[in-house]
Amino acid sequence: MLNAAEDNERRGKRGEYGGCHRSPAAKNLSRKAEDYLEAILNVSLEKGYAKTRDIAKELGVCPPSVVEMFIKLSKLGLIEYRKYEGVILKPEGREIATVIKY
Quick one: average pLDDT of 6-11?
Answer: 53
CA distance 62 to 93: 22
Please say whether the beta carbons of 10 and 2 come within 8 A.
Answer: yes
3-state helix, strand, coil in the chain (%, to 5): 60, 10, 30
CA distance 12 to 61: 23
Q: Which domains does the chain have, with CATH numbers?
A: 26-101 (1.10.10.10)
What pLDDT, in 10s, does the model give residues 39-94? 999 999 999 999 999 999 999 999 999 999 999 999 999 999 999 999 999 999 99
Global model pTM greater than 0.85: no
Indicate the burial class of 55 (C-beta count within 10 angstroms; 0-12, 13-18, 19 or more): buried
